[in-house]
Amino acid sequence: MFKAIIRLMAESFSSDATAYAMDKLGWFRDIPPRDPHDWWNKPETPEETKWRAAIKEFEKMPIAQQMAWRDRVMRYRSLASVLGVSSRQRRTRKSPK
Protein backbone atom coordinates (compact mmCIF):
# COMPACT_ATOMS: atom_id res chain seq x y z
CA MET A 1 0.00 0.00 0.00
CA PHE A 2 2.82 2.40 0.91
CA LYS A 3 4.55 2.04 -2.46
CA ALA A 4 1.19 2.47 -4.23
CA ILE A 5 0.69 5.78 -2.44
CA ILE A 6 4.17 6.89 -3.52
CA ARG A 7 3.27 5.97 -7.10
CA LEU A 8 0.00 7.93 -6.89
CA MET A 9 1.85 11.00 -5.62
CA ALA A 10 4.40 10.71 -8.43
CA GLU A 11 1.69 10.18 -11.08
CA SER A 12 -0.12 13.32 -10.00
CA PHE A 13 3.09 15.36 -9.56
CA SER A 14 1.82 16.01 -6.03
CA SER A 15 4.48 16.69 -3.42
CA ASP A 16 7.25 15.07 -5.46
CA ALA A 17 9.91 15.73 -2.85
CA THR A 18 7.75 14.18 -0.13
CA ALA A 19 7.08 11.12 -2.29
CA TYR A 20 10.83 10.81 -2.96
CA ALA A 21 11.64 11.01 0.77
CA MET A 22 9.00 8.37 1.50
CA ASP A 23 10.45 6.12 -1.20
CA LYS A 24 14.04 6.62 -0.12
CA LEU A 25 13.48 6.28 3.63
CA GLY A 26 10.58 3.83 3.66
CA TRP A 27 8.53 5.91 6.09
CA PHE A 28 6.58 9.14 6.36
CA ARG A 29 6.67 11.77 9.07
CA ASP A 30 4.78 15.02 9.12
CA ILE A 31 7.70 17.25 9.98
CA PRO A 32 6.79 20.94 9.88
CA PRO A 33 9.23 23.51 8.53
CA ARG A 34 11.59 24.92 11.11
CA ASP A 35 11.79 28.64 11.83
CA PRO A 36 15.52 29.50 11.61
CA HIS A 37 14.92 32.59 13.78
CA ASP A 38 13.41 30.64 16.67
CA TRP A 39 16.36 30.14 19.00
CA TRP A 40 14.16 28.21 21.44
CA ASN A 41 13.60 25.35 19.02
CA LYS A 42 14.83 22.08 20.37
CA PRO A 43 17.47 20.32 18.24
CA GLU A 44 16.31 18.23 15.32
CA THR A 45 15.83 14.55 15.91
CA PRO A 46 17.80 12.12 13.72
CA GLU A 47 14.51 11.37 11.88
CA GLU A 48 13.96 15.05 11.12
CA THR A 49 17.51 15.39 9.85
CA LYS A 50 17.13 12.36 7.53
CA TRP A 51 13.74 13.57 6.28
CA ARG A 52 14.95 17.09 5.48
CA ALA A 53 18.08 15.70 3.78
CA ALA A 54 15.97 13.47 1.51
CA ILE A 55 13.71 16.41 0.58
CA LYS A 56 16.73 18.59 -0.24
CA GLU A 57 18.32 15.75 -2.23
CA PHE A 58 15.27 15.57 -4.51
CA GLU A 59 15.02 19.35 -4.87
CA LYS A 60 18.68 19.56 -5.95
CA MET A 61 18.36 16.74 -8.52
CA PRO A 62 18.44 17.68 -12.19
CA ILE A 63 15.02 17.34 -13.83
CA ALA A 64 16.22 14.34 -15.87
CA GLN A 65 17.14 12.50 -12.66
CA GLN A 66 13.79 13.41 -11.07
CA MET A 67 11.99 12.03 -14.13
CA ALA A 68 14.10 8.84 -14.01
CA TRP A 69 13.04 8.37 -10.38
CA ARG A 70 9.40 8.97 -11.37
CA ASP A 71 9.69 6.41 -14.19
CA ARG A 72 11.07 3.84 -11.74
CA VAL A 73 8.23 4.50 -9.28
CA MET A 74 5.68 3.91 -12.05
CA ARG A 75 6.67 0.22 -11.86
CA TYR A 76 5.10 0.01 -8.38
CA ARG A 77 1.59 -1.44 -8.23
CA SER A 78 -1.14 1.15 -8.59
CA LEU A 79 -3.36 1.98 -5.66
CA ALA A 80 -6.35 0.61 -7.59
CA SER A 81 -4.63 -2.75 -8.08
CA VAL A 82 -3.63 -2.91 -4.42
CA LEU A 83 -7.24 -2.22 -3.43
CA GLY A 84 -8.55 -4.70 -6.01
CA VAL A 85 -10.44 -2.17 -8.14
CA SER A 86 -10.43 -2.97 -11.86
CA SER A 87 -10.03 -0.23 -14.45
CA ARG A 88 -13.57 -0.96 -15.66
CA GLN A 89 -14.94 -0.47 -12.14
CA ARG A 90 -13.13 2.86 -11.88
CA ARG A 91 -14.62 4.07 -15.18
CA THR A 92 -18.19 2.96 -14.43
CA ARG A 93 -18.38 3.85 -10.77
CA LYS A 94 -21.09 6.43 -10.16
CA SER A 95 -20.61 9.20 -7.68
CA PRO A 96 -22.83 9.09 -4.61
CA LYS A 97 -25.92 11.28 -4.65
Report pLDDT digits (tens) over 29-46: 877 777 777 666 677 889
What pLDDT score was predicted for residue 39? 60
What pLDDT score was predicted for residue 33? 72
Please, what is the average pLDDT of the chain? Answer: 85
Q: Would you kindly state where each structural domain of the chain is located, as residue ranges?
A: 2-31+41-92
Distances in whole angstroms, Cα of residue 68 to Cα of each of 18, 58, 62, 72: 16, 12, 10, 6
Q: What is the pTM of this model?
A: 0.75
Closest among 16, 1, 3, 95 to 56, alpha carbons compared: 16
pLDDT in tens, 41-68: 677 889 988 999 999 999 999 999 999 9
Closest among 27, 5, 6 to 70, alpha carbons compared: 6
